[in-house]
Amino acid sequence: MADYLVIVESPAKAKTIGRFLGSKYKVEASVGHLRDLPVSKLAIDVENDFKPQYTNIRGKSDLIKNLKKAAKESKKVFLATDPDREGEAISWHLAHLLDIDLNSVCRVTYNEITKKAVTEAVKNPRTVDMGLVDAYQARRVLDRLVGYQISPVLWKKVKKGLSAGRVQSVVTRLICDREDEIDAFEAKEYWTIAAELQKQGKATVFVAKFHGNGKGKIALKNKEDADRVLSGLEGATYRVQDIRMQEKKKSPAPPFITSTLQQEASRKLGFSVSKTMSVVQSLYEGVNVGASGITGLVTYIRTDSVRISDEARNAARDYILSNYGDAFLPPYNRVYKNSNAAQDAHEAIRPTHVEYSPEQIRSKLTNDQYKLYKLIYERFIASQMTDAIYDVCNVDIDANGYLFKAMGSTVKFPGFTKVYEESKDEKNEEDAAKKLPALSVGEVLDLKELLSEQHFTQPPARYTEATLVKAMKEYGIGRPSTYATTISVIQQRGYVGKEKKQLYPTELGRIVNDLMKNSFPDIVNVEFTADIETSLDCVEQREKDWVSVVRDFYVDFEKEVKTATEQLEHVKIPDVVSDVQCEHCGRMMVIKTGRFGKFLACPGYPECKNTKPIIEEVGKPCPVCGEKLIFRKSKTGKKYVSCSGYPNCKFMTWNVPTGEKCPTCGGYLEYVVGKRGRFIACSNKECTYRKYPGKKKEE
C-alpha cells in the first residue's frame, strides 16, 4: 500500500510520473474533469450570485469511487493536475470530492515532466489557488450563459442543434468580416518597369526597378503611364549614380509560446492547430527515450510567456559554445519580456533536456513528434545565439533622368540563422534580395532587357489557421488553452470551411453571424470580448471578484436576449435557392443543412417531399467508362472519388485522378500526397512512375 496518492489528469502522465516517484507514491489519473455543469439545464442560479450547480460527470462514478478509496488508504493526497486555470479547477473539484481541506498544502505544480521538476514540486506543495479557480468559474459561467440563452434563438430561427459561443462567435465574425472585405474589394491597376542590367563584359544579370525621377517617386497607374516612361528610356545610358552600403543586424525570435508554435507548425510543417496541440501534448506527457526511460521532452505547452529559467538558459549557452563556438554565443544573456504579469505563470515552450538533440532521439519519436520537437528545440537554441549580420547594398541608377533602384544583401555572419530562422506569412522584397555585382559610382551598365508588366492590387487574404491564431492573440480573444478548440469547433459546427488551408465562412456561418451582429452585438464585438478576457485575468490576479465580472456582463446581456427573442419572433430567414429544378413539381430547390452536411430540398414541403444530394463534380472523366467523376463521402465522413454511373460502373478511388494515362504502363494517373508533398503517381501499384512538381525529369 502506498503512503501517498498523487492525482494527475491523463493516464500517460500518470505512468511517467509514477516512475519518477517510486513505490511510496501511487499515481492515478482523473482523466480530465470529474465534475461539471450538467448538460440538461442552465445550472446557473442567476438570482443567487450566479452560483454554478456542479454535478458529477456521467460515466465517471466508478473512477470517483476508486479515487475516494485510494485517498482514504493514503496518508496524504497530492493534486498534480496541469498548472493553469483548467488544471486548478480540476484540483478544486477533486478536493471537494475527496474531502480535502482547501487550506491544506495539497496542490503540486510543475512546468515540465522530468524527475527533477516533479520531485521538487512534491517536496514544495501549496494550497489551491482560488484566483485561478475563480477565473475558471467566471469563464465557465459566462460561456454557459451565452451558449444556453442564445442557442435556442438560433434553433428557432435558423436550425435545430446550432450553438453560439462567447469566443467562437467573435472568431466566426472575424472570418465573415474578412470575406466581406474580399467581396467588396475593387482591384486597381498598376504597372511596374524593371531593367535587367549587366556589368560591361560580364554575364551576370541583376534587376533594377523603376522608381521615379529626381523629383520623387512616379506611380504608374496604367499602360499610358508606363509607355510614357518607356518612351523616355529609349536609347538611355544606365549609369550608377549612388551606392550606399549598410550593415544590418537581425535578432532571433524568442522561444515558442502556444500561439507562435501553432503558427510556425502550420507554416513550416503544414500541421493544423489541433494536430500541433495533440503532438506537442505527447511530447510534454513523456516519451521513452531509451536508457533514461519515459520523460517529458518539452515544458508546459499552454503558455503566453517567453520567459525561460536561468538553468535552461545556461544549458543552451553551454550547448551553443560546444557545438558552434564562441562567435555564436552572445556575451550577454538574452532575456525576453512578456507584455503583462498575467502571462508570466509559466516558462516558454522549450526542450526539457538540451542533451536530447532531435537527431539523437529520432528513432524514439514518431515522424510528427520528431518534426515538432526539432522545431521547438532549434527555435530555443537559436533564441540564445548571436545576431545574424548582413551587408546590404542599395544602388541608384540614372537613365535619361529616370531613377532605378537595385538592392542586394549578403550574409556577413549567419549567427542564429545557422540553426533556425522564423518563417513569415508574407514575404517582402528584402527577403528575396540577392547579391549584386561589385559596382562603382559613374559606372555604365549594359541593358539586357527592359520589362514592363501590368498588375492589379490584391484583396486581403483569407485567414489560415496560423493567421487566425495570430489575430486571436493580437486582439486578445481567447487564451492559449482555447485557440485550437475554438478553431475546431467553428469548423465542426459548419460555420467555417477550409479549402487549401484557407478558412472561409459557409452560408450557414454567414446567416448565424448576421443574426448575432444584429441581435447580440456585444457578443461578436472584438473589443468587448477582449475586455472580458482582461477581466478574467484580473480575477486570476485577485484584483476583481468573479461574481461582479459576471454580473456586469449579465445586466446588458439579459436585455439583449429578451429583445432579440421578441424581435425575431416574426422574422423568417430565407433559404438559399439553388439552380436545380425539382423534377416532381418544377420549383427551384433550396439548400438545406442536415446531420451529414448540405443537401437539396424542395421548398414545397410538405406537399412535395423531394430531396437529393448536392453533387460535386471532380471535372475529370471516369478512367473505366468515361462518365463524370463525382466526390462522395464515406460513413466516417472521408471524401472519395466515385463514378457517377454507379451502380453500372463501380469505379472508386481515395485519390483524385488527373485525367491522364501513365506513359509507362497505360494505367490512369492520380494525385497523391506523400512525405515529399503532393505528386502524380500511377494508380497501378506495380508501376513505379512518379512525377514531382518542379521537376523536369520523371522517375
Element (H, E) at 677: strand 677-682
Instruction: Band the pLDDT of 615: cuts 50, 70, 90.
Output: confident
Note the pLDDT of residue 156: 80
Instruction: Give domain status of residue 312, yes or no.
Output: yes
Residue 299 CB contacts under 8 Å (≥ 6 apart), including other chains: 111, 112, 284, 346, 347, 348, 349, 350, 351, 352
What rounded mean pLDDT belongs to the chain?
91
Domain count, the chain: 6
Counting residues of the chain whose pLDDT is more than 90, the rounded percentage is: 76
Among candidate residues 300, 324, 483, 668, the one labeled active-site is 300
d(CA 615, CA 513): 27
pLDDT tens-digit profile of 656-680? 999 899 999 999 999 887 655 678 8
Q: Which amino acid is at 93?
A: H
Note the pLDDT of residue 422: 85
Indicate whether 98 and 156 sit together in one domain: no
Residue 93 CB contacts under 8 Å (≥ 6 apart), including other chains: 33, 34, 35, 54
To the query of whether residue 300 is one of the catalytic residues in this protein, the response is: yes
Indicate whether 34 and 112 sit together in one domain: yes
Instruction: Give domain status of residue 599, yes or no.
Output: yes
Q: Picking from 453-457, 541-545, 616-620, which range would have the lowest pLDDT averaged per residue?
A: 616-620
Instruction: Give domain status of residue 490, yes or no.
Output: no
pLDDT tens-digit profile of 321-363? 999 999 999 999 999 988 765 456 689 999 999 999 999 999 9
Instruction: Give domain status of residue 50, yes or no.
Output: yes
pLDDT tens-digit profile of 113-125? 999 999 999 999 9
Note the pLDDT of residue 58: 94
Indicate whether 228 and 327 sit together in one domain: no
Element (H, E) at 390: strand 388-399
Indicate whether 378 and 399 sit together in one domain: no
Indicate whether 288 and 364 sit together in one domain: yes
Indicate whether 452 and 396 sit together in one domain: yes
Last residue of a domain, one of 422, 439, 456: 456
Counting residues of the chain whose pLDDT is more than 70, the rounded percentage is: 94
Note the pLDDT of residue 639: 80
Give the residue-averaged pLDDT of 53-73.
96
pLDDT tens-digit profile of 280-291? 999 999 999 887
What nine digits make up the cell of 443?
A: 559606372
pLDDT at position 153 over 90? no
- Better-scored residue on pLDDT, 157 or 626: 626
- Across 397-401, 610-614, 638-642, the highest mean pLDDT is recorded for 397-401
Indicate whether 285 and 364 sit together in one domain: yes
Indicate whether 12 and 120 sit together in one domain: yes
Phi, psi of 408, deg, nearest 5: -140, 155
d(CA 209, CA 405): 5
Note the pLDDT of residue 166: 92
pLDDT at position 697 over 50? no
pLDDT tens-digit profile of 547-579? 999 999 999 999 999 988 888 776 666 777 888
For residue 333, give its domain range. Answer: 258-382
pLDDT tens-digit profile of 167-226? 999 999 999 999 999 999 998 999 999 999 999 989 899 999 999 998 999 999 999 999
pLDDT tens-digit profile of 295-326? 999 999 999 999 999 999 999 999 999 999 99
Q: Which amino acid is at 154?
A: L
Could you give the C-alpha distances from 520 to 89, 153, 165, 556, 616, in angstroms and in order?
A: 30, 11, 12, 10, 35
Last residue of a domain, one of 347, 382, 417: 382
Indicate whether 30 and 74 sit together in one domain: yes
Instruction: Give domain status of residue 449, yes or no.
Output: yes
d(CA 539, CA 372): 34
305: CATH: 1.10.290.10
Instruction: Give domain status of residue 629, yes or no.
Output: no
Residue 283 CB contacts under 8 Å (≥ 6 apart), including other chains: 296, 297, 298, 301, 369, 372, 373, 376
